[in-house]
Structure 1
């Protein structure tokens, strides 16, 4: 059993920070181990459905893994819902500012202003509007089904947060959840319900201090539910694949 997981930092970030993709405590690896296989992770900080689409269509390492995958997990969409006071191209462009002192000052200023702007603008705009999240998820699905018609695909319901960096604002979440659920129902893609699984964990302060990423108990819970979802909704997989 080989899981190919396209994801954001929720897949490789633990209670104390980011980790190598092969850390056995991360939910993709826990799920793959329970299924008797391994996970291949393509992910990045802040990845939205758009970055997953770019990886799927532009990264030859992902192409290689896609050819041998038994299940594709599209674990993106959560970061799409976050407040993004600056347009993405400007926010991401801060890293290219020179000289170094200017870059650091601009970055500090943006980090300091972000919570205030998230409140002042009511959480709008979001990093990626729901219609574009669904567009990129659907394009990814169409591409995969053209190349690997029988490959099972699993998605996620966008996760929640209580991050001070965004002043706890998450007004774009509900609309994104509705859009993703509607798309998944029409596309016949089973969804892993992240808000139900990790919401209480985050609200209880049991995750990373950043209020967004998870502790190990949440990683285990997500992994267990992913395995159950695969077993219940992907009956075309052989019994030997699931042991």
Structure 2
């Protein structure tokens, strides 16, 4: 029988492996030299899945905030397909929410729609010139902590409605040293406090990305943009997320020897 032929009725099919559903931003798939395909073996979602013996569904995009994660929940059919088979969901968003955004987010997102192309390039150059010069103000941030937590809770509540048994794991914002933001990150601490309160109230395990990647971000091994991590950062995040998944999911397998 070829692989294209249907399995006869009554034949025992191999059980489907749990899916690690990751809804994230570019920290989920950028390495030391830039963005990578979702199946790249060295990015942290795939390291975690390999360690647990699970499959992975990575739904992420550069610049995504918690608001974008909620939109993915409501609009992306990959998320809908993954939820019934998920062993755990990792909400790897929130870091972008904390970055200085003195110019409206809607302005940045709308640059791509400006026509004609010459005007679009001029507007993009102007935005790129203003952003680092206004970032030392530190405010406003892309999303206030209160709003970030509202979106996280909306996502958690929706998942609990569909799958009451499905573990949800949150993340604390990472750190950065980006010249694009003049290394300003005044919004991180208020966001971390708000997320911690929410997680404690809703019994959501948290992975502290800053704790995992701080050393790597401030080393020469990280991405030169000052935001994205090197491979050691991905390995440390994978170890932390894997530990969290094993705690909340009784069926997670023992780590593969030597993976860490």
Contact 1:205 1:211 in 2 (8 A): no
Contact 1:2 1:71 in 2 (8 A): yes
The verdict on how the C-alpha distance between 1:211 and 1:87 changes in structure 2, with shifts beyond 3 A counting, is: same
Bigger Rg over Cα: 2
Report what 1:108 is aligned to: 125
Deviations 1:175-199 (A, max 9, x none): 0000001100111010111111111
Report what 1:143 is aligned to: 158
Cα distance in 2 between the residues matched to 1:49 and 1:217: 25
Report what 1:75 is aligned to: 92
Divergent runs of 4+, >4 A: 239-243
Report what 1:4 is aligned to: 21
Cα distance in 1 between the residues matched to 2:101 and 2:250: 40
Contact 1:32 1:38 in 2 (8 A): yes
Q: What is the deviation of 1:220? A: 0.8
Report what 1:51 is aligned to: 68
Cα distance in 2 between the residues matched to 1:219 and 1:239: 20
The verdict on how the C-alpha distance between 1:156 and 1:142 changes in structure 2, with shifts beyond 3 A counting, is: same
Cα distance in 2 between the residues matched to 1:114 and 1:226: 33
Deviations 1:51-76 (A, max 9, x none): 00111112122101111111100111
Q: Could you tell me the TM-score, scaled by structure 2's length?
A: 0.89
Residue 89 (structure 1) aligned with residue 106 (structure 2) = yes
Contact 1:190 1:229 in 2 (8 A): yes
Contact 1:4 1:40 in 2 (8 A): yes
Q: What is the deviation of 1:6? A: 0.2
Instruction: Determine which of 29, 49, 53 is the counterpart of 1:32.
Output: 49
Whose helix proportion is higher, 1 or 2? 1
Deviations 1:188-229 (A, max 9, x none): 010111111111111223210000000011101110111112
What is the CA RMSD across the aligned residues, in angstroms?
A: 1.4
Q: Could you tell me the TM-score, scaled by structure 1's length?
A: 0.95
DSSP 3-state at the match of 1:70: strand
Return 5+ residue gaps in structure 2 as ranges: 1-17
Instruction: Determine which of 224, 237, 241 is the counterpart of 2:250.
Output: 237
Q: Which moved more, 1:90-99 or 1:207-216?
A: 90-99
Size of the aligned set, in residue pairs, is: 239
Cα distance in 2 between the residues matched to 1:30 and 1:180: 25
